[in-house]
Amino acid sequence: MELSGYRDDLRGRVAIVTGAARGLGLHFADALVAEGMKVALVARSADLLEKHAQRLGENALAVPADIASPDSVREVFARTVERFGRLDVLVNSATMNRLHRIEDITDAELASEVGVNIMGVIYCIREAIPLMRKAGGGDIINVSSESVTRPFPLLSLYAATKAGIENLTVGLREELRHDKIRVTTFRSGTVDSGGMFLSDAPPDRFQKFFDDSNAFGFMHDTGLAIAPQIAADALIALLRAPHQAHIDFISVRAR
């Protein structure tokens, strides 16, 4: 039996994926293009984005940008609509994480982490809403982290930014429920995505993070990293679901 409005064919729909140069964002972009969608890949790494766009073909557009800049975000959305004509899906996957105690964080670190993880998400959503309303609806997916329920050592600010975005997602449901724009939290556990998570951490901070995480059971709780295709499949399933159902929250993590 077919469900009324079930969208088992995503071909021709247009998406913007932030953080698409590597990691989970790149796997999301790959999966969307494989479904026949047209995808704007957004990140700061221009060379990597261009390489991925060439590999993915004419349905992919590389748009280098710093989402912490509102002007840069406006350019992303303008270029996407200029190329593809509309917007149906926004995946806010870009993230920044730095290991530090709050008392040690510098002004620049604080501005960059909050700028990407909170302000950047809001800038993107602000631009997406009128475009999706014009298109007759859409999906906004805000990628969060399992650490919101138990912040890891030295990652309290990161967890706080993700928790803030989860709460924003809840509030947006009420703002957009009559516009056929669905807003979903996609809470991810550890994924073997090849991303840059903590890759630039100073060795001494990383060692403390690793030691404390082991000592207090964080590593046991998170389990082994899952394959990125599992997370990508969950995203596709969400986008295929009929809009008569609002999907508030998805959690994909290790057993």
Res. 179: pLDDT tops 90: yes
Residue 147: name the closest of 182, 111, 99, 195 by CA: 99
Q: Which residues contact 5 (CB under 8 A, 6 or more apart)?
A: 242, 243, 244
Domain residues of the chain, as ranges?
Answer: 14-242
> Would you state the pLDDT for residue 165?
97
What would the pLDDT profile of 117-146 be if each residue is shown by its tens digit?
A: 999 999 999 999 999 999 999 999 999 999
How big is the CA angle at 187 (ends 184 and 193), to the nearest 5 degrees? 120
Mean pLDDT of 67-96: 98
Average pLDDT, the chain: 90
> Would you state the pLDDT for residue 2?
38
Res. 194: pLDDT tops 70: no
In this predicted structure, which of 6-20, 53-67, 183-197, 231-245 has the lowest mean pLDDT? 183-197
Helices (H) and strands (E) counted in the chain, each on its own, are: 9, 7
Q: How confident is the model at residue 197 (pLDDT cuts 50, 70, 90)?
A: low
Mean pLDDT of 148-176: 93
> Would you state the pLDDT for residue 139?
98
Q: From CA 85, how far away is CA 83, in angstroms rounded?
A: 6
Mean pLDDT of 224-249: 92
Pick 7 or 28 by higher pLDDT.
Answer: 28
CATH of domain 14-242: 3.40.50.720
Res. 223: pLDDT tops 80: no
Mean pLDDT of 97-126: 94
Res. 74: pLDDT tops 60: yes
Q: How confident is the model at residue 1 (pLDDT cuts 50, 70, 90)?
A: very low
Residue 41: name the closest of 80, 11, 68 by CA: 80
Strand, coil or helix: 101: coil
Total Cβ atoms within 10 A of residue 26 = 24
Give catalytic residues, as residue numbers.
158
Strand, coil or helix: 165: helix
Q: From CA 7, how far away is CA 242, in angstroms rounded?
A: 6
What would the pLDDT profile of 37-51 be if each residue is shown by its tens digit?
A: 999 999 999 999 999
